[in-house]
Structure 1
């Protein structure tokens, strides 16, 4: 355990990769990446506050605090620099950390994120209300949309279970997303960025990383064919190949 009861795992040796999961899930979403990359990297996975095996505090459920937690983890482990690989809102955390502390980040890999949801029509207030009133039913209706058609129901059910096990206070991230837009800051980003995005993502359409990549100097975009919002789980072999290529 770590500061603020953060659960993390630290395996392997070599250049450091720090994986950040998306809203409500846990570091287990990266299980298909660990055997591939621990062979030649030092791989850190963390359940950010409110999720997985970390503490579920009522406070600090915002981007700034999660970024501070992540930086604190790097400090505690005496890691000077790392590649940050973030999924969905995890890509937002990685991007914001790179903007604020470019000396600590060698590259950002944004997996199906970050987004500017109000501009893409996501009904965030309605979603937050549904989670408050009937969490299980809202997740049953929403989470299947994260995945491409034909995805195993077991994977969808497992994702829902992870979110149900997370603290309800993480819903504050959904409301905060209502004012988040990285586009004005991206041209000043001093860290290389690689966008890896599912072709069929219905949560964050492909136009989002295309726009973001156009704003960051020398950014790249790799599309994972046949995948929705979670390519690291839906198409792990293709995702791992894409990640290794950008590394």
Structure 2
């Protein structure tokens, strides 16, 4: 176990009910922190014990050089969850947090009851083509939807010159397409400012993970149910990802859920439906 000085910051909020309420872990996305869940926490705490986590280098979590490796960052996160929680839990990750949640579900299936990804992808960067036929890999290919390479490269370059401006731009991209974009940007900006600024190294590593981590082929090994939520207006994780991912999933996995009025943050845009969906998620 990591020592106390190096543990991740864990924010735990329990529902008013006592007894056997399920534990639900929530992971935030790139550039933000656990406070992004603040608007929805009181509603979720009505039916679950909620644990929100600052990913390494974000919010109140410290950054260590070895965290630059995605596998190590996931292991550090899981070590802290295991230290703080008594038993198995449900885990939901938004955007980059969904990549963490998926890896944790793959590596620690005895700890995870179900995993949910929210506006997330097992492979964030667009790929020109992927095989859709295992028996004839060269005869039939299809493009993988995602963030354009040049977009991620632009963000990486801007980080080296003005990371605060880069975060502002990223908030705008996340809200792009939402019917309440200005209000959502204002909300996310305020929540971002409520915690310490992210470590520059964490921002750089996070963009690299978004560009390089590819868990598509690993999905067939998932031993726990995966529930996927998408915003139909999302410009970062295109709705086409919902269909493209199915060829990598076991046939028994639940169908995806689409939020028609949402872009990249359905838990802000369509809060009532989001809460209902998570209630169903932990009820199994």
- Per the normalisation by structure 1, the TM-score is 0.90
Deviates more, 1:148-157 or 1:138-147: 148-157
Q: How does 1:70-219 map to 2 (within 5 A)?
A: 70-116=77-123, 117-119=125-127, 120=146, 121-123=148-150, 124-147=152-175, 148-160=177-189, 162=192, 165-170=197-202, 171-217=204-250, 218-219=253-254
Q: Per-residue displacement from partner, 1:28-73 (whole Å, max 9, x unpaired)?
A: 1112332122223221111111111222445413422331122112
- Per the normalisation by structure 2, the TM-score is 0.79
Instruction: Go from structure 1 to structure 2 and tell me whether the alpha carbon gap of 1:67 and 1:33 turns closer, same or farther (over 3 Å shift).
Output: same
CA contact (8 A) 1:62 1:173 kept: no
Per the TM alignment, residue 241 of structure 1 is displaced from its structure 2 partner at its CA by 1.6
CA contact (8 A) 1:56 1:166 kept: no
Q: Which has the larger radius of gyration?
A: 2
Task: Note the residue ranges of structure 2 that are not aligned, 5 or more in a row.
Answer: 128-145
Q: How many equivalent pairs are there?
A: 247
Cα distance in structure 2, aligned partners of 1:138 and 1:77: 34
Q: Per-residue displacement from partner, 1:198-243 (whole Å, max 9, x unpaired)?
A: 1111001011133224432223211111101111122211211222
CA contact (8 A) 1:194 1:219 kept: yes
Q: Is 1:24–2:24 an aligned residue pair?
A: no
CA contact (8 A) 2:47 2:279 kept: no
Cα distance in structure 2, aligned partners of 1:51 and 1:103: 27
Aligned to 1:238, what secondary structure does the other structure show? helix
Q: Per-residue displacement from partner, 1:110-159 (whole Å, max 9, x unpaired)?
A: 00112421423243223211111222333333321211344253531453
Alignment partner of 2:6 out of 1, 4, 21: 4
Task: Note the residue ranges of structure 1 that are not aligned, 5 or more in a row.
Answer: none
Alignment partner of 1:63 out of 65, 70, 73: 70
Deviates more, 1:162-171 or 1:65-74: 162-171
Deviates more, 1:205-214 or 1:90-99: 205-214
Per the TM alignment, residue 82 of structure 1 is displaced from its structure 2 partner at its CA by 0.8
